[in-house]
Chains A and B, each alone.
Chain A
């Protein structure tokens, strides 16, 4: 576990913040999936157009963005005070507040609360935070079944799959695939089910309704928590959130500590910024705002779990802490040329796209997600789209520098940093690069079954961990020189 200024990061081995492969490798595999790229290109361009239309109709959009940015910056500067105030208000209104240092502690807490409520099943409304900590796996290990109720999350869960977009987690699935998943995984699904979205949605409604009506415990995330009043907010479209927030006797809400906002009035800013940036709607179909427990209306037991899991490590970085301002609208994903081609899975974390590239490495420690800050062309589209004006390109550059700096400070350089340094040295000079390529060509004779086991130094450090594809007999540079007779 690496640390930044002494703050513990999210522990490994639990939850979904780290991929099994570096971004560049995972991205290459994703690029080979043409169905995925078609779905993504179609989806992101549709959402982009919708967003542009509804953002364009507000004459004060820039003023709202600036207010949003300022509120978030102010919140972070006094985060301890606002969290204490939130705790006090929620408690005064009949709720119980719990604190969790990390994913392991949060999972243990929630599992205990569900068990105490005597439940073996829970209904969950979409929550990236619970996905971040791997709550479903922890509940399953304790014999508790978690039913995802957001349509896309249900598709992902029944497909034994991972979400690939913040807003449309099943964006990588088409209707035929979804129909097959439902037929295979939904007990009692009508074999005559068509792949029309309306029919698939109706099947999900039927499948979930009995679970909602019988649920004793609901688990949710939160989009906002107002310190001043103790009010929690969930923004959604389908009504599954409302079901989870109102039907069960017990409600457990898991929230990252950065989601607190200072004042009731601040809602007027975020409830304008979020829906327009996110789904490209003037307002999302449903927003629920609740304060503690209301006798006779909704859950009579309310638990709020405040989660750190690496957020204080991000807070300790005065530049990097901006990533905590994120309201998870996903606008930066939809405008990102890299995301549009690779999709969300390549990022290896529940937080994909530009925001994931700056948030995940800070939560885990840069070392453990070192490829993500490089998953960008620094085109700046994300910054333009971000409703709270997070300067993602600058953060990416900052994290790259941090990565290099942290490597330098380690006494024994890691093989990767040596390779990177060597590669940088080689690529900085056309002469050296050409020589290295020719040396690589010499490796052709050594290549068996089309792979090269070792490259000559200094590139050998790279092949010590993986195979390199066999280079063509003639490099482009050699061909150019032979054809044109000029060295470049």
Chain B
């Protein structure tokens, strides 16, 4: 007998005669936040700041200037950009700054860069979470992992209130990365240290709907 058949057989044996299956799942928890659009954005900003992120709330026209300012602020000069990122969002590279479009850069090459700029699939206000689904403007999962600085561009319409709203919107087949603040550990005497293996710094530009 294969291990598969044997394990499944054991399960059926273990369950045999246990009677009726439990009923439907009670989903009496909140499925929507019931907050207005402005409130949702405020909640997200507050949560992100709690995680130590810098949040820039801007209009579409202000995005390129804000990107340039954020990169300068964090000292990120060589920055990788995924294919498909909204071109109007990028400034022309300030002197000394270089945007490198990812065409399958090796992990070692990514390790030599200072930062990454990505879009996102959506964000969750309640938990201060940004979700990337590897769609256009987000790129491969490693892009937001190896460089030490992550600048994320988010449109206001992408912000969901609660986790259930996000789950309903996401496409399951895509590789998803949920990011809530910078990488962190509390493994040594429970004191929090940021920047273990993922980016040490995460900033978010929140773009108002036009």
Residues of A within 8 A of B (CB): 5-8, 39, 42-43, 46-47, 59-60, 63-64, 66-67, 70-71, 73-74, 76-80, 83-84, 93, 98-101, 105, 149-152, 155, 168-171, 174-175, 178, 197-198, 200-201, 204-205, 208-209, 212-213, 226, 228-229, 231, 237-240, 242-243, 245-247, 257, 264-269, 271-272, 275, 279, 281-291, 294, 296-298, 306, 308, 312-313, 315-316, 318, 321
Q: A283-B127, A285-B184 are in contact. List 18 more A-B contacts (CB 8 A).
A: A71-B25, A79-B15, A80-B8, A101-B7, A175-B188, A238-B183, A238-B196, A247-B107, A268-B166, A285-B182, A285-B183, A288-B141, A289-B176, A289-B178, A294-B175, A312-B7, A313-B14, A315-B15
A291 adjacent to B164 (CB under 8 Å)? no
B178 touches A283 (CB 8 A): yes
A-side contacts of B140, CB under 8 Å: 246, 296-298
**A362–chain B nearest beta-carbon distance, Å:** 12
Report the bound CA distance from A291 to B175 in whole Å. 7
Q: Considering only CB atoms, which chain B residue lies closest to A309 in the complex? A: B7
Given contacts A264-B167, A268-B163, contact A77 B177 (CB under 8 A): no
Report the 4 A-B pairs with minimum CB-CB distance, sorted nearest first.
Answer: A239-B198, A239-B197, A316-B14, A283-B127
Question: Which residue in B2, B173, B183, B189 is a CB contact (below 8 Å) of A175?
Answer: B189
Q: Which of A100, A282, A285, A289 has the most CB of B within 10 A?
A: A285
Residues A83 and B179 in contact, CB atoms below 8 Å apart: no
Instruction: Flag if A242 contacts B189 (CB, 8 Å).
Output: no
What separation, in Å, do the CA atoms of A247 and B131 have in the docked complex? Answer: 19
How close is B104's CB to chain A, nearest CB, in angstroms?
8
Q: Do A99 and B7 contact each other (CB < 8 Å), given the known contacts A175-B189, A201-B196, A264-B172? A: yes
A84 and B13 contact, CB distance less than 8 A:
no
User: Which residue of the partner chain, among A100, A247, A291, contacts B3 with CB atoms under 8 Å?
Assistant: A100
User: In the complex, are the beta carbons of A101 and B3 less than 8 A apart?
Assistant: yes
**B36 is an interface residue with CB less than 8 A from chain A:** no
A286-B28 contact in complex given A7-B10, A101-B7, A243-B197, C-beta closer than 8 Å? no
A83 to B8, CA, bound (A): 8
Name the residue of chain A whose CB is nearest to the CB of B28.
A63
Interface residue from A80, A105, A212, A297 paired with B197 (Cβ < 8 Å): A212
- A64–B198 Cα distance when bound, in Å, is 30
Contacts of A73 in B (CB 8 A): 22
How far, in angstroms, from A245 to B8 measured CA to CA in the complex?
28
Q: When chains A and B are docked, how far (Å) is the Cα of A8 from the Cα of B9? A: 12
B30 near A: Cβ within 8 Å?
Answer: yes
Query: A146 → chain B, closest Cβ, in Å?
Result: 17
CA distance A150 to B124 in the complex (A): 27
What's the Cα separation between A313 and B13 when bound, in Å?
10
Selected from A93, A257, A288, the residue in CB contact (under 8 A) with B173 is A93
Contact status A67-B141, CB under 8 Å: no
Counting CB contacts under 8 A, is B88 at the interface? no
A7–B12 Cα distance when bound, in Å, is 11
Closest to A231 in B: B172
Known: A209-B111, A290-B175, A297-B141. A239 touches B187 (CB 8 A): no
**A168, B176: Cβ atoms closer than 8 Å:** no
Contacts of B13 in A (CB 8 A): 5-7, 312, 316
Interface centre among B10, B23, B140, by most chain A C-beta atoms within 10 angstroms, is B10
Give the docked Cα–Cα distance between A109 and B181 (Å): 37
A226, B172: Cβ atoms closer than 8 Å: yes
Q: Which B residues between 7 and 51 are near A, CB-CB below 8 angstroms?
A: 7-8, 10-15, 18, 21-23, 25-30, 47
Q: How far is the CA of A79 from the CA of B15 in the complex (A)?
A: 9
Which residues of chain A come closer than 8 Å to B179, judged between CB atoms?
285-286
Neighbouring A residues of B124 by C-beta, 8 Å: 283
Which of A67, A205, A243, A283 interacts with B27 by CB under 8 Å?
A67
In the complex, what residues of A have CB within 8 A of residue B10's CB?
A: 7-8, 308, 312, 315
A174 — nearest CB in chain B belongs to which residue? B189
Q: Tell me, rounded to whole Å, the shortest Cβ–Cβ distance linking B68 to chain A.
A: 27
Question: Provided the pairs A155-B187, A200-B188 are in contact, do residues A286 and B178 lie with their beta carbons within 8 angstroms?
Answer: yes
**Would you list which residues of chain B between 86 and 142 have a CB under 8 Å from chain A?**
104, 107-108, 111, 124, 126-129, 134, 140-142
